[in-house]
Homo-oligomer: A and B are copies of this chain.
Amino acid sequence: MGMGSDMTSKGRVTIREVAERAGVSMATVSRVLSGNHPVPASTRARVLRAARDLDYVANAHARALVGGGRKMVAVVLRQVTSPFYAQVAEGVEAEAAARGWLCLVGTTGGDPGRELEFVQLMREEGAQLVILVGGVVEDDAYRERVAHYAQALASSGARLVLCGRPAPDPDIPALVVEFDNEAGARAITGHLLSAGHRRIVFLGGLPGNTALDARVAGYRAALAEHGLGPEAAHVVDCGLGRAAGHRAMTELLKGAENPGRFTAVFAGDDMVAAGALRAIADAGLRVPADISVVGYNDIPLAEDFNPPLTTVRTPAEELGRAAVRIALRDPEHAAGAHHLLGTHIVVRDSVQPPPPGA
């Protein structure tokens, strides 16, 4: 391949060295490399040859400084090890790659401080698009913070998109793309209700968190639609995560004889469901014979749970793709726009009518 053979001085090869070797000016090299200016084939070949011999790579920073840089999109999420977030990131990445954009993923561990830090960083790096993913508790601090992000980003020509979290104010220059959590929750609660369940507990509430609040709302709405009073609702605010689900379910189960208390559980997401499933098994009960369980998100391994989990499918990768696609489609129209992506139930083996005696 012949590369690396002509390394001269240590450090990166610059356009100047390529120019010297090809016997042309830096400008010509630049023109050949960007290909946006007519250059005779012979010159062109000489330049390309020199560049290859020297194993030249452009300096992205110099290029960016002068305006011709690569576009960049940044995704900010809690953690990549969450199957759901990983899928969203993959969607963003795929859509970015398809456009030749660079994709940077940052994780915050749920800490607003790190989120702010990362957004700041992206401003420094000149990202064109910043995508914040995941539900949050919507308090004043949140609203103020996001309003600041949006304004700051907008003032330098960048765009902010909120995935699964609300815009603090419709006038703020931010785009929101999310799932219809309420509809999904209503549908799956309806599924449980149709199977005959009347005492369903919602496990994994997180008051103030917009995504969970919407699911709880959907759950309550479904209950009401089936003629049950508000007292039929039983939401356990244990938050998300497998551990939380396990802990809360264990607690619930030992509170009293279970069968008298509830016959089904609607877990706030599939990880909570995983924990609940384990807790139920540990208590010597069986799903779905004794208790039915449903989850939310349909993460890739939900079908491998014991039993395979009935859950609502939220096309996470599509959420990521949609975020960049929509943000890039009509820049002008974006401010304040709100896009809702649909979801649907996937039925597996974790639901069954309540046991006869219940």
CA distance A1 to B121 in the complex (A): 20
Known A-B contacts A104-B104, A300-B81; the reply to A61 vs B57 at CB < 8 A is no
CB of A182 within 8 A of chain B?
no
A245 to chain B, nearest CB (A): 11
0 or 1 for each of A49-63: is its CB under 8 Å from B? (1 = yes): 000000101111111
Residue of B whose beta carbon sits closest to that of A84 = B81
CB of A156 within 8 A of chain B?
yes
0 or 1 for each of A288-304: is its CB under 8 Å from B? (1 = yes): 00000000000011011
Chain B residues, Cβ within 8 Å of A64: 61
Chain B residues, Cβ within 8 Å of A123: 57
- A residues 67-86 near B (Cβ < 8 Å) are 69-70, 79-81, 83, 86
Evaluate contact between A305 and B303: CB separation under 8 angstroms. no
Evaluate contact between A90 and B79: CB separation under 8 angstroms. yes
Evaluate contact between B3 and A148: CB separation under 8 angstroms. yes
Binds B, one of A7-15, A162-170, A219-227, A322-330: A7-15
Evaluate contact between A155 and B4: CB separation under 8 angstroms. yes
CA distance A303 to B305 in the complex (A): 9
Known A-B contacts A10-B155, A11-B157, A144-B1; the reply to A304 vs B303 at CB < 8 A is no
CA distance A64 to B59 in the complex (A): 10
Chain B residues, Cβ within 8 Å of A269: none
Evaluate contact between A80 and B89: CB separation under 8 angstroms. yes
CA distance A219 to B21 in the complex (A): 55
CA distance A58 to B124 in the complex (A): 5
CA distance A104 to B96 in the complex (A): 14
Chain B residues, Cβ within 8 Å of A89: 80
Known A-B contacts A304-B274, A305-B304; the reply to A59 vs B55 at CB < 8 A is no
How many A residues have CB within 8 A of the partner chain? 60
Among B10, B11, B148, B274, which residue has its beta carbon within 8 angstroms of that of A1? B148
Evaluate contact between B59 and A65: CB separation under 8 angstroms. yes
CA distance A59 to B121 in the complex (A): 10
Evaluate contact between B93 and A86: CB separation under 8 angstroms. no
0 or 1 for each of A113-156: is its CB under 8 Å from B? (1 = yes): 01000001101111000000000000000001000100110011
Among B62, B102, B120, B121, which residue has its beta carbon within 8 angstroms of that of A65? B62
CA distance A156 to B8 in the complex (A): 11
CA distance A305 to B278 in the complex (A): 10
CB of A175 within 8 A of chain B?
no
A311 to chain B, nearest CB (A): 13
A156 to chain B, nearest CB (A): 5
0 or 1 for each of A236-261: is its CB under 8 Å from B? (1 = yes): 00000010000000000000000000
Known A-B contacts A157-B11, A301-B274, A304-B306; the reply to A93 vs B80 at CB < 8 A is yes
Among B59, B83, B121, B306, which residue has its beta carbon within 8 angstroms of that of A305? B306
Chain B residues, Cβ within 8 Å of A47: none
Task: Provide a sorted-by-A list of 15 A–B residue pairs whose CB atoms are within 8 angstroms.
Answer: A4-B151, A59-B65, A60-B125, A61-B61, A61-B64, A62-B65, A70-B121, A79-B90, A80-B86, A80-B93, A83-B83, A102-B125, A105-B105, A274-B301, A306-B306
Given A301-B301, A306-B306, 7 further pairs, Cβ under 8 A: A3-B148, A57-B123, A57-B152, A80-B90, A81-B87, A81-B90, A103-B106
